[in-house]
Structure 1
Amino acid sequence: TLAVFVPIAFMDGIVGRFFYQYGLAIVLSVSVSLLVALTLTPMLASRILASGRVSPLFRPLEAFWDSVDRAYAGLVKLAVRLRIIVIFIAVASVVAGAWYAARVPSGFTSRADRSEFQGSIELPLGTGMVAALDAAQKSDAELRKIEDIEDVFISVGSGAQADIHVLELYASLTPKQARQTGQFEIMDKARKAIRIASPEAVKISVLEVPWVGGTTSGSSDIDLLLRGSDLNSLAQYADSLVREMRANPNFADVRTSFESGRPEAQILFDRRRAGDQGISARALAETARIALGGLDAGTFEADGKRYDVRLRLEEDQRESVQDFSRIQVRGADGRLVDIGAVSRVQFASGPSQIDRSDRARKISVLASSATGVSLGEATDTLLELLEANPPPVEVAYSMGGMAERMQETAGAIGFALLLALIALYMVLASQFNSFVQPLVIMVTAPLSFSGAFAGLYYFGLESSLFAQIGLIGLMGIVM
């Protein structure tokens, strides 16, 4: 038992946080039990058995255990006599276990009805506070119409960027025992209700509150990270992938982290004409920044009060392309030249922000697994879509979110099991002074796993982190 649980107590990452306390608790309890068995138990046995007194329960218990011993001995003799049949049953059990294991859905943590969910409503860029509050009130009223939703809380501008157009929501449900509808069916109703209340919303997500990784609505089951140098290429591929995922029933709340449509003024610098006037791009940009954005020029004191002085063009002088073109910048010879003479000014729309990862531009494709679909199934479906519609050569991708943690967990659990088996073999080999006899004991592990996977399959459970903790515990007990 110690050989199994000592290695898993020192695993890395999020999985290690779960297994550290679990492994140490088992190791310490078994160590104390071993100490008691080697020291206290022999001493007490020598004193109690030396008295010669027999408890009234001794003879019935002795008769019972003698019958168990005889039955076990008879079963062993029968197994040895019918060893071909026993070997066939064992092999069939292992094959059946592999069949069940291949059909048990996989996930990071089990999806549980905890009578709560969270989400976000993203309105078009540029939405004002009044419109955002109106959308929040309508969504709140529509959600409260759903039976079994007990309370709803919607906040405006409380996301990571504090954007007014992003609404964060949290809903609590009536206790599980007091309702007939499951949490995930209610979440499906909530998605439809929000779409009715806020038809102008560009992105809607309704998620279960995660076991691990915080409680912000930005977390998702699947977070596909696309990286590349060309933002337009990233956005085009992300949009095409989002369309395919939305058409697939295994996904819900499909969206991207890329937001476009924010109004902006673009000044397209003409280096040849600017060079003739002796104007650098830096001087032009600095002048435009001060004229449009303003510059803190100092302070002004009057009547004992201090006022900040900020230089900036009047609002009616910075409203149109013509206004921008008339902003003057000083050339190398000291003459003032209109920006429109050395550049082209135009209004356009651009991204609200540009995210980066590993010094490359990135866009995340976010999604949740649909109701009744495991995270493993959704991840496999996404990989199939990526294989059928591969990204351009200049675009790289990697998995994130709960899907990434699930993959990390599978690798960490596999390594822990391998390490535990090696340590167990070494302990048994030294104990039996044989390299073959330990293998006889260790082949019982696959037989125990067959029953475990059969239980997961018939009860409709996922092979999640908690199920894998149970598998390791089972191996420690069997060995």
Structure 2
Amino acid sequence: DAIVVLENISTHLERGEKPTEAAVHGTSEVGISVIASTLTMLCVFLPLTMVSGMAGIMFKQLGWIVSIIMIISTTAALTLVPMLCSRMLSNKPKNGKLHRAIFDNVEKFLNKISDGYAKIIGWCMNHRKTVIFSGLAIFVAVLVLLGPGVKSEYFPHSDEGRLTVSIELPVGTEQTVTGEFAKNFAARIKSEIPEIQVLQYRFGQASTDNVWGSMQSNGSYIISMNINLGSMEDRERSSSEIADIIRKDLREYPEVKKGTVSEGMGGVGGAASITLEIYGYDFDETDRVAKEIQGKMLDNENFTQVVLSRDDYTPEYQVDFDRTKLALNGLNSTTAAAAFSAAMNGSVGSYYREEGDEYNIRVIYDKKFRSSTQDIENIIVYTPAGKAVRIKDLGTVVEAKVPPTIERKNRERYITVTGIVATGHALSEAVAATNAIIKTTEIPNNITTDISGDFEDQQSMFLNLVVLMVLIIILVYMVMASQFESFMSPFVIMFSVPFAFTGVILGLWATNTALGVMAMIGIIILLGIVVKNGIVLIDYTILMRERGMSVIDASVTAARSRLRPILMTTLTTVLGMVPMAVGRGEGSELWRSLGMTVCWGLTISTLVTLVLIPTIYCSLATAQERRKAKKLAQTKG
């Protein structure tokens, strides 16, 4: 805004006006366009402060900060800048030899660009249909040819230098064996990965007093590792490459039933994942389908790790009581089961107190009397009459395997297949691969599937952001219509928006970047930025028409006069975003797509709309004047 005001004041000074007069006239000429452009920016960023969900949590502060800065910046541009110009600038500046040697050539170069641009606009005024249809053809071609090839993601993957490894050995593995395996595996990856700065691991069953440990997955067969790789700037290999090395090592151990390697700290920026939910009541059928899909996903290049949510089945002894035999002995299934449980798991018979501490005295069968089916069959249950009856006289003891947990969602049993997206592949590619795998898998009619995980979160976020974009476009149009007191001028300016999308698609395709949430935020920012150039251009064109110029002359004059401030504002924005778009430091991955989106979208939109906006305005304004002239002639007739 300050650039537009300052450039217009400088133009009046070059015409010989006094500094005070130049400041007043120059500011008044562009004041409406500056206010309108600021209001359009507020229409973009203020709605971000009202968004709910994850988008609201992430971008609410951005919306408030930019809105406040824009209000202060516009106030300064319309008050402080004109005052400083009236005091510090002169209509007859005294320039030294060095200044002339440098800036005279720059001025000549800029004048040549302005003259050439004016000639282009003059040609466009006489070939309006050709220009408009060419612009439409460019938009459609990019949308149709390149649009379908753009990949999508949730959040960009960032290297946080943290890995979490979870290893599950066969159920029932003794704790000493688990500890030995953890020690050997930790030593192996330390020797293979010198980037490891800190490696911590834990294993075993949490005690009843360890509340935090009990809340996590634990057991005598489970190992958990936390690995710190340090800053990405201090190592050559990324955390994804190191994670793949650990995954490869885990696959070499046949005793590892499940091994997962997670990147990051569990927030945004970790490795993308696909979760396939398989719904069905029958355990055998859902297990078969899940394992078949798991195998196909592991063979697919889009996935580097695929795990099932259902753990190995736990072996257990079950007693199938005969109700007739129970009734003959004066027992029921509840009392018999309680007696059997007390023998196997023990029961608290009394307490031992010492120095204020109390300890449970648990009475349980000795291990050697409860280690086989025969031992369990010989467990004694006492009837109400005091008669001793063995379990084998009351029912049948069988060995069975059951899932450790039964997962349910919406009151339906289900199992999940979770695949980590491989480095170099996007979430959309993994989703397409998963759908293709589902089509080639024989799935019974009583089993249904659904893709969730990051894909579900992405779809929800994208839907919210698309709705926000539509509301922003409507608000921007309404604001411009109220400022220009016309529906036609804002309609012309809104043609800048489609070519912002054209630039974004070109940028995503050229840089092989996936469209994610951060890129969507960049598009939302573009909705406010790209219309600013059109506002400045159309507002000055209207001013020239009010001063008596024809539509064509006003369009050419405004285009030539406003070229310099439009290029200056575009360059300052693009150059300010370039460091973000090409950043390579720690955490830069998260913001790179936002910077790239703004740079490409604003550049392409500016280049196209500098030609297209004046041409469309000239066409519509000329048609409007013809209709007015025709109505006037009919009225006089």
Q: TM-score, normalised by structure 1?
A: 0.86
C-alpha offsets along residues 185-217 of structure 1, whole Å, 9 cap, x if unaligned? 443333223334x342122233432672598xx
Pick closer, same or farther for the CA change 1:365–1:304 going to 2, 3 Å: closer
- Residue 439 of structure 1 aligns to which amino acid in structure 2? F
Residues 109 and 211, structure 1, Cα contact 8 Å, conserved in 2: no
SS in 1 for 2:146: helix
1:133 corresponds, among 158, 167, 179, to 179
Question: For this pair of structures, how many residues does the alignment match?
Answer: 473
Q: Is 1:48 matched with 2:100?
A: no
Measured in 1, the distance between the counterparts of 2:357 and 2:257 equals 47
Measured in 2, the distance between the counterparts of 1:447 and 1:306 equals 76
Q: Is 1:357 matched with 2:409?
A: yes
Residues 253 and 368, structure 1, Cα contact 8 Å, conserved in 2: yes
Residues 140 and 152, structure 1, Cα contact 8 Å, conserved in 2: no
The residue number in structure 1 matching 2:376 is 324
Q: Is 1:448 matched with 2:500?
A: yes
1:10 corresponds, among 50, 65, 82, to 50
Pick closer, same or farther for the CA change 1:174–1:376 going to 2, 3 Å: same
More helix by share: 2
- Residue 497 of structure 2 aligns to which amino acid in structure 1? A
Q: Is 1:168 matched with 2:229?
A: no
Q: Is 1:88 matched with 2:133?
A: yes
Tell me: higher relative CO, structure 1 or 2? Use CA pairs within 8 A at least 6 residues apart: 1
The residue number in structure 1 matching 2:256 is 201
The residue number in structure 2 matching 1:291 is 343
- Residue 163 of structure 1 aligns to which amino acid in structure 2? G
Q: Is 1:23 matched with 2:78?
A: no
Measured in 2, the distance between the counterparts of 1:403 and 1:257 equals 18
Correspondence list, 1:345-424, <5 A: 345-389=397-441, 391-424=443-476
- Residue 321 of structure 2 aligns to which amino acid in structure 1? F
Correspondence list, 1:278-317, <5 A: 278-300=330-352, 307-317=359-369
SS in 2 for 1:149: coil
Residues 226 and 397, structure 1, Cα contact 8 Å, conserved in 2: yes
Q: Is 1:123 matched with 2:169?
A: yes
Residues 143 and 149, structure 1, Cα contact 8 Å, conserved in 2: no
Measured in 1, the distance between the counterparts of 2:258 and 2:432 equals 24
C-alpha offsets along residues 278-337 of structure 1, whole Å, 9 cap, x if unaligned? 422211221112111111122245899865322222222222222222233344666443
Q: Which moved more, 1:311-320 or 1:139-148?
A: 139-148
C-alpha offsets along residues 243-296 of structure 1, whole Å, 9 cap, x if unaligned? 222232222211101112422111123334334444222112211121111111
Q: Is 1:76 matched with 2:132?
A: no
C-alpha offsets along residues 2-57 of structure 1, whole Å, 9 cap, x if unaligned? 11222233222222222212222222211222333445445556x538x9665447
C-alpha offsets along residues 79-115 of structure 1, whole Å, 9 cap, x if unaligned? 2223233223322332343233321221112234455
Residues 222 and 379, structure 1, Cα contact 8 Å, conserved in 2: yes
Measured in 1, the distance between the counterparts of 2:226 and 2:519 equals 28
- Residue 401 of structure 1 aligns to which amino acid in structure 2? G
The residue number in structure 2 matching 1:464 is 516
How far off its partner does 1:74 sit? Answer: 3.3
Note the residue ranges of structure 2 that are not aligned, 5 or more in a row: 1-40, 204-212, 532-637
- Residue 251 of structure 1 aligns to which amino acid in structure 2? F
Pick closer, same or farther for the CA change 1:148–1:308 going to 2, 3 Å: closer
Residues 148 and 173, structure 1, Cα contact 8 Å, conserved in 2: no
- Which structure has the larger Rg? 2
Note the residue ranges of structure 1 that are not aligned, 5 or more in a row: none
Pick closer, same or farther for the CA change 1:421–1:316 going to 2, 3 Å: same
Q: TM-score, normalised by structure 2?
A: 0.66
Note the aligned Cα RMSD (angstroms). Answer: 3.3
The residue number in structure 2 matching 1:224 is 276
Q: Is 1:259 matched with 2:259?
A: no
How far off its partner does 1:478 sit? Answer: 0.5
Measured in 2, the distance between the counterparts of 1:421 and 1:304 equals 72
Q: Is 1:36 matched with 2:76?
A: yes
**Percent of residue pairs bearing the same amino acid type:** 28
Pick closer, same or farther for the CA change 1:309–1:136 going to 2, 3 Å: closer
SS in 1 for 2:172: coil
